[in-house]
Structure 1
């Protein structure tokens, strides 16, 4: 809410509170609907948040404009246009017995027709048209339809069944429980037209049964004789009991009685602005704009009282006897891109406890124990392109910054892709920011986003885990549903095609398969089921997905790629329960349920952890890790990392540019990495991307030592 100033509460409803606010940047009055989504069930959340989805699909001068949404104090805030003239219902109530002129009625009605035509063109039913949901501008000239909270996007069947809407405006087919379509909105609009002409509702009664009976009979008082026969006939046709005999909206607009009103709208009000407010990209890093997409770090600001790298180092690492050395609650290490030994990254404060880390092409992100998300800002000069004369291993000044605007949201999970980031709240709401290239943000477009924005298409689901590849994303829900979006070539989305999607698409599975975690590679994807089965899709080059099948003579029949999630086929993983999986660019490492560590794929740089010909193709146990209790694995472009109990971290593969956390060339045998800053620790999270690694640790709890 830092961009808005609250003025007053203007309404309260079943799902939340409506605030009149002022936008600080331009002093414009706007409306913010506050919906406390975390207290709602899945169905309630879907119903309450439907307005966000529908409004974002609509763009018309006679429909309340949608600006943005964000989370604040664990409530969804929907920002939309403010209509200063109030509701049409209030305006008609103020008229008393003074009937409107027919010209004014048709002026209002023509605008409603145009807006409803736009709504229906998007295959959307409003389902709650009434004078209370029709708003006016300050001069009482322009009509704005609002309140799409119970609207419905129709399927290909073009029918809806649920009984919704205000009783006085519901259609006869809805009263009978029959399926309905756009003709029910025509009935409701006919009721509104009648109300404009008579200043009273077409159907009213003392109780609901009597009201339903009146609607089913279609009995209502005629309008005044002061109005034309054409207007009376139009009302009768729109309130016909048989929906098939009600006119289509285009047939209504073709009526001669409306020609003048429609023409006046196009000439007098046709210049009304209807473009949406776009988020400026000026705050994104320079390389994040243009053809290549947006920045991966988002718009950041220092946290008040946060420590700089120098001050943090003086507190944590100084042993000269000046300041007392505070207890270390957490450490985060980084290596790669020329940094050949683990570098201790600064934290926002000395009491920060990091639960999870993730690294992308340019981003380094972390989630704290208390649910805060922060990133380390990249140095001014990238380490991948150091200046002439710079020495390898030169330490850049990474600075931690909390993500702006997320102080009231509890983040529990983060995943980084190439130039974009996804984060997940403790209530299963997914948010993304950074580059919009390839539609990886899931917002239905290719726009860059500087601050974390809710993936609106998944608001009705409780997401439990998300994984980002270089240019695609997979998410899994608590109901074992999987959604995929981004680039689709090689079939990496598992949707059966190679099409790309900028909105989340649900992935189909057999009823017996229940996905519980997902993993995105560079051009492929994997998922684990609750029964520890491993399914894969995408590019199977070097058999990195273990999809090749055994043939005669021990050779493998190569599968180039698959477009749907398919169980692994290469022995011995065919019937082996898998506990964890990690993918590099061209190789994969898995931990089985028995604690054994297998690797397969390309071994050009020794990234499989043993001396094996790349043409063999069969997954094999990593000899040096047999008998070692491996708890985590991660894969980079040409190297691998494994974490064993007791905080021992192994790396192997290509050592160039510090990939292995030590100097050297190629090591095809896992070897421990030396950490000089503290003796014993437990690893809480590890992440690899390209040639870089990010690793979070916490100190080993000594016996008898009280917990912080």
Structure 2
């Protein structure tokens, strides 16, 4: 444990030293993404092109402790789970700043990909392929007792060929405990399960119990987007969407969809969390639907029907990359063979 107020070491979280990144071998290139608590850069680590997430340290003692806690938890979870539909973790370091290094996926976020397609929709088979990728990633997380809590198109990344999706950003993920209450109103309102939203303003740090089924609800909203290529709860603000879902039981329309797909959506976003299917069941329902419309063949690659975690072999279109950049035309450029790196230890004045 380092000196100072509540500063966590990796050892406190059983972090394997093999995942330590030596900052002397890390070079930071252009910024490619930014969130409330971190910025993401394209860079290099030992000549491998990577995504570098630099976590803001915070200002107050309390904020510093909270950010370090969250950083250590994210690193611990990333180092524990590996799956082809989860962004590949390469390593992390805590000094001179908190850094997480992952593979760089050059296909961009699912949100940008869908936005650039509008008003066109994805082919249904492609949409289901992406949904299978997401469901398999979630099945893997849940099998390790991890809830993601922020499943949305911004956290889903496409491979360079736009053939598959990978889940990224474990900043809000945490281990599930049946006996522990967890922070409410965690996630992004438009995709957030109703049980996460409170009728009254919670005091800071106040806890509320929920379980892994919050991710099934978020999955349903994302799957609806994949099928319709529209913003869910269109015309509502984020808070209005959360209020309508939580207190008026409003959901996006599942009309005009094949009955089997409508059943998947409506079962996943049920108000009663315990009645929602788990991701193993969701995967099976999606594969069953594909079999009814078209068995494996030239139209649908057999890999879509296969997976490491399900009875039927799964592999499918998915997403993997940490915030890839796009130009003004909406095209996603290929990752350059060479970037102009700057030394890791010299870049921090530009990172904040």
In the other structure, the counterpart of 1:257 is 289
Contact 1:35 1:76 in 2 (8 A): yes
In the other structure, the counterpart of 2:79 is 56
Q: How big is each residue's C-alpha offset from its partner over 1:169-212, in whole Å with a ceiling of 9 and x where there is no partner?
A: 11111124752111110000000000111112333454455323
Distance (Å, rounded) in 1 between the aligned partners of 2:172 and 2:164: 24
In the other structure, the counterpart of 2:155 is 133
Instruction: Write out aligned runs for 1:146-225 (5 A).
Output: 146-157=168-179, 160-176=182-198, 179-207=209-237, 209-216=239-246, 217-223=248-254, 225=256
Give the drift of 1:164. Answer: 0.6
Contact 1:36 1:76 in 2 (8 A): yes
Distance (Å, rounded) in 1 between the aligned partners of 2:314 and 2:239: 45
CA spacing shift, 1:71–1:48, aligned 2, 3 Å: closer
Contact 1:135 1:143 in 2 (8 A): yes
In the other structure, the counterpart of 1:637 is none
In the other structure, the counterpart of 1:31 is 51
Q: How big is each residue's C-alpha offset from its partner over 1:538-569, in whole Å with a ceiling of 9 and x where there is no partner?
A: xxxxxxxxxxxxxxxxxxxxxxxxxxxxxxxx
Give the drift of 1:102. Answer: 1.2
Q: How big is each residue's C-alpha offset from its partner over 1:234-268, in whole Å with a ceiling of 9 and x where there is no partner?
A: 11111111112211222212222155679523379
Does 1:113 pair with 2:135?
A: yes
Give the drift of 1:13. Answer: 2.3
Instruction: Write out aligned runs for 1:378-389 (5 A).
Output: none
Distance (Å, rounded) in 2 between the aligned partners of 1:251 and 1:258: 14
In the other structure, the counterpart of 2:93 is 70
Distance (Å, rounded) in 2 between the aligned partners of 1:213 and 1:149: 24
How many correspondences in the alignment? 272
Q: How big is each residue's C-alpha offset from its partner over 1:3-60, in whole Å with a ceiling of 9 and x where there is no partner?
A: 23322011222223211012343xx321011124374421232124432122111100
Q: How big is each residue's C-alpha offset from its partner over 1:258-294, in whole Å with a ceiling of 9 and x where there is no partner?
A: 5567952337948x9x9xxxxxxxxxxxxxxxxxxxx
Contact 1:15 1:48 in 2 (8 A): no
**TM (normalized to structure 2)?**
0.70
Give the drift of 1:120. Answer: 0.3
Distance (Å, rounded) in 2 between the aligned partners of 1:100 and 1:407: 43
Give the drift of 1:105. Answer: 0.9
| Bigger fraction of residues in strand | 1
Give the drift of 1:141. Answer: 0.7
In the other structure, the counterpart of 1:124 is 146
In the other structure, the counterpart of 1:11 is 33
> RCO higher in 1 or 2 (8 Å CA, sep ≥ 6)?
2
Distance (Å, rounded) in 2 between the aligned partners of 1:157 and 1:242: 19
Distance (Å, rounded) in 1 between the aligned partners of 2:84 and 2:180: 26
Distance (Å, rounded) in 2 between the aligned partners of 1:268 and 1:220: 30
Give the unaligned 5+ runs of structure 1: 275-404, 409-708
Q: Secondary structure at the match of 1:201?
A: coil
Contact 1:130 1:188 in 2 (8 A): yes
Distance (Å, rounded) in 2 between the aligned partners of 1:152 and 1:76: 18
Contact 1:69 1:78 in 2 (8 A): yes
Instruction: Write out aligned runs for 1:275-354 (5 A).
Output: none
Give the drift of 1:83. Answer: 1.1
Give the drift of 1:161. Answer: 4.0
CA spacing shift, 1:220–1:16, aligned 2, 3 Å: closer
Distance (Å, rounded) in 2 between the aligned partners of 1:202 and 1:33: 29
Distance (Å, rounded) in 2 between the aligned partners of 1:188 and 1:262: 27
Instruction: Write out aligned runs for 1:435-474 (5 A).
Output: none
CA spacing shift, 1:205–1:44, aligned 2, 3 Å: farther
Distance (Å, rounded) in 2 between the aligned partners of 1:162 and 1:80: 28
Give the unaligned 5+ runs of structure 2: 1-22, 200-207, 307-312, 321-342, 347-352
Instruction: Write out aligned runs for 1:570-585 (5 A).
Output: none
Contact 1:127 1:185 in 2 (8 A): yes
CA spacing shift, 1:159–1:115, aligned 2, 3 Å: farther
| Bigger fraction of residues in helix | 2
Distance (Å, rounded) in 2 between the aligned partners of 1:243 and 1:205: 26
CA spacing shift, 1:206–1:99, aligned 2, 3 Å: closer
**TM (normalized to structure 1)?**
0.36
CA spacing shift, 1:61–1:191, aligned 2, 3 Å: same
In the other structure, the counterpart of 1:42 is 65
Q: Secondary structure at the match of 1:62?
A: coil
Q: Secondary structure at the match of 2:244?
A: helix
Instruction: Write out aligned runs for 1:441-590 (5 A).
Output: none
CA spacing shift, 1:210–1:56, aligned 2, 3 Å: same
In the other structure, the counterpart of 2:310 is none
Please identify the structure whose Cα radius of gyration is greater: 1
Q: Secondary structure at the match of 1:189?
A: helix
Q: Secondary structure at the match of 2:119?
A: coil
Contact 2:217 2:269 in 1 (8 A): yes
